[in-house]
Structure 1
Amino acid sequence: MQGRIYPPRKQEVAWVRAEDQTILSLHSKVVTHNSRIGVTHDSANTWQLRIRQLKESDRGCYVCQINTAVMKIAEGCLDVY
């Protein structure tokens, strides 16, 4: 899943699992103990949440939150068969 900041600027980005509000990452640091979770960014404005070896328990919605004066969010949902 991908979150993008435009125009590019220094903002804190967080990935959160929507169902239980579990914080997965803060900026480039993964804060969950799940070693299958990773975060990458290819530039100052594009952040990607990566989940390796998907499991059915990963099914659900994930939110990219951008810490601005008014929080901006983008949500993507994942289905695993």
Structure 2
Amino acid sequence: MRRCSVSWIRHRDLHILTVGGYTYTSDQRFQATHSAQTDDWTLHIKWAQQRDAGVYECQVSTQPVRSFFVTLHVVVPAYNDEVSRSGYTEGKEENLHS
């Protein structure tokens, strides 16, 4: 898109997360990328958590402004009591053998 900027906004708190390739949040899990081949802009959220669920807006600075809304649903895995009693620690690298 020529002479347009693309912004990603989190609607829960109206926080501007990214504008173009710049990130405006201290949460380093958020990053926007641009594909020059398709001119697509993608918002990446590393290690998505339940608190990340909600509506996000992709806003293109055309005249008039164009907005696209995305609703993110985060599914938390079911608690597995057998794994928790096995002595494995979440986030710790383990080698599993069968």
Q: Which has the higher strand share?
A: 1
Q: Percent same amino acid at aligned positions?
A: 30
> What TM-score do you get using the length of structure 1 for normalisation?
0.85
* Residue in structure 2 matching 1:53, options 47, 69, 76: 47
Superposition RMSD on alpha carbons, in Å?
A: 1.2
SS in 2 for 1:38: strand
Q: Which stretches of structure 1, 4 residues or more, deviate above 2 A after TM superposition?
A: none
Does residue 23 (structure 1) correspond to residue 16 (structure 2)? The answer is yes
Q: Which has the higher helix share?
A: 2
> What TM-score do you get using the length of structure 2 for normalisation?
0.71
Larger RCO, structures 1/2 (Cα 8 Å, 6+ apart): 1
- Give the unaligned 5+ runs of structure 1: 1-7
Which protein has the larger Cα radius of gyration, Structure 1 or Structure 2? 2
